Amino acid sequence: MKITPVKGTNDYSIKETKLRSSIQSEICKTYENQGFNRIITPLIEDIDNLEKSDGGDNLNLIFKVLKRGDKLASAIDEKDFSHLSDLGLRYDLTLPLSRFYAGHKNDLPLPFKVIQMGEVFRAERPQKGRNREFVQCDIDIIGTKSVDAEIELIDTTANALLNFNLKNLTIRINDRRILKAVLSKIGFKTDELDNVCITFDKLDKIGTDGIRQELLEKGFSKEVVSKFCDVVNNLPKTTFELRKICGSMPEIDELEKIISSINELSGGKYKIKFDLSLVRGQGYYTGAVFEIQSDDYSCSIGGGGRYDNLIGKFTGENVCAVGFSIGFERLFDILSEQNFKIKNDEKKVAIIYEKPDFQKAMKFAKSLKCPLSLFEMPKNIGKLLSFLEENGFSGYYILKEKEEFKLNIFKK
């Protein structure tokens, strides 16, 4: 029997688990104070829902669950190998939310401001920063076309991260409609745009030369690919420069409103900038897309965007929606490296007792009005005391006959 977790997953110590719980609690409190309410959705989804969700490359990373019993045997007998699975593990929280909304829309307010926090799964090749099981912390606003939703999500998420003393936060923002307009101006056909975006999303990993090679391998015109690479090498840095390529577009007006509003709301505590190279891998995005990072770290801490068509796959009606997700594992790694301390005003103590004194210890514990834990006296008390100090206990009592109950305080 193996004692290590499956590759791409992690065990977490008591100390790590407390930190993870504290971080999630702090994020959730920030969101709830802004009027969002939390729901919980299952880890498992119908495989057809997952595969029809326009999740981009994530659709190739779904953990599929085999059919059971006679259904599995029948599929094997019929050599129907493409239909061996009927369920899958969710790869993000957006598809489950869309399904939830479709099933409960008559009981929900509009706009619907919602929180989700939980594990998601992707069949990644495990490596640093890429797990097969990880936690996402999402907020979404459903039911409004207004870019006020994007503004609220961006500011709320940034404030949640600022609560952890993260510095030099920058939001990169783009709009899928604007990006596709640029691609069309270059010469790509309408039915080619999503495929081009999938490749363009890899710019940070493979560079312009890699983009050129992949697009040519996909069969795109050498002339059009060359024009595209020229644009990639000279991306517009501002919406003013963007208008020189696209002309006047209402989507650019919306983007400018988001940027100006965030600059006003941020009060200089974080920044926002236009970035035409921002694509976001999920195919369900229909409008603004954004990512947040600390300039002190070379990774995104969260991302999101508008997805106005996904819920309609369930309802048959167009429902506007936009969301922002914090990549919890990256935030956890950053805060762990910083030795982030949990905010805890309550003093937690331990009661250490001899075996015959268990009832006495329980009775004494009831008289204390603070978080506590009971421990039977071990052979090596030094090891126990080290454990208590490392895990946030402020002090301890040792119960012995004919001794007063004296609190021993750990030195800070």
Q: How many CB atoms lie within 10 A of CB 167?
A: 10
Q: What is the per-residue pLDDT across 223-234, written as a single tens digit (0 to 9) for each?
A: 999 999 998 898
Q: What is the per-residue pLDDT across 284-306, written as a single tens digit (0 to 9) for each?
A: 999 999 999 998 987 899 999 99
Give the pLDDT band (50/70/90) at residue 10.
Answer: very high
The answer on pLDDT for 344 being more than 80 is no
Domains, the chain, ranges and CATH?
Answer: 14-42+105-337 (3.30.930.10), 349-409 (no CATH)
Q: For residue 173, give the nearest of 59, 255, 253 by alpha carbon.
A: 255
The answer on pLDDT for 27 being more than 90 is yes
Q: What is the per-residue pLDDT across 32-74, written as a single tens digit (0 to 9) for each?
A: 999 999 999 999 999 999 999 988 778 889 999 998 888 888 8
Give the pLDDT band (50/70/90) at residue 379.
Answer: confident
Extract the tokens encoding 27: 């994020």
Q: State residue 88's pLDDT score.
A: 96
- Distance between CA atoms of residues 134 and 122, nearest Å: 9
- Distance between CA atoms of residues 172 and 180, nearest Å: 18
Report the SS3 class of residue 23.
Answer: helix
CA 230 to mean position of chain CA atoms: 33
- Distance between CA atoms of residues 210 and 199, nearest Å: 9
Q: State residue 213's pLDDT score.
A: 94
Residue 166, sorted as left (phi over 0), alpha (psi -120 to 50) or beta, turns out to be beta
Q: For residue 56, give the nearest of 172, 171, 196 by alpha carbon.
A: 196
Residue 146 near residue 102, CB atoms below 8 Å: no
Q: State residue 214's pLDDT score.
A: 93
Please write down the long-range contacts of 378-386, taking CB distance under 8 Å and 24 or more positions apart. 381/352, 384/352
Q: What is the per-residue pLDDT across 180-219, written as a single tens digit (0 to 9) for each?
A: 999 999 999 988 888 888 889 888 889 999 999 999 999 9
The answer on pLDDT for 402 being more than 70 is no
How wide is the angle at C-alpha 262 spanned by C-alphas 256 and 263, nearest 5°? 90
Extract the tokens encoding 109: 């307010």
With pLDDT > 90 as the criterion, what percentage of the chain qualifies? 64
Edge-to-edge strands of the sheet including 64-66?
Answer: 44-46, 85-89, 64-66
In the predicted model, what is the mean pLDDT of residues 140-169?
Answer: 96
Please report, for residues 51, 347, 352, 371, 394, the alpha-carbon distance to residue 361 in angstroms, rounded to integers and kept in the order given. 57, 18, 8, 14, 18
Residue 341 near residue 126, CB atoms below 8 Å: no
The answer on pLDDT for 412 being more than 70 is no
- Distance between CA atoms of residues 324 and 141, nearest Å: 9
Q: State residue 410's pLDDT score.
A: 84
Q: What is the per-residue pLDDT across 114-129, written as a single tens digit (0 to 9) for each?
A: 999 999 999 988 887 7
Structure-model confidence comparison of residues 77 and 12, the more confident one? 12
**Three-class SS of 166-222:** CCCEEEEEEEHHHHHHHHHHHCCCHHHHHHHHHHHCCHHHHHHHHHHHHHHHCCCCH
For the chain, the residue count is 412
- Distance between CA atoms of residues 293 and 240, nearest Å: 24
Residue 91 near residue 58, CB atoms below 8 Å: yes
In the predicted model, what is the mean pLDDT of residues 99-114?
Answer: 95
Please report, for residues 43, 171, 184, 215, 276, the alpha-carbon distance to residue 239 in angstroms, rounded to integers and kept in the order given. 40, 15, 18, 26, 9
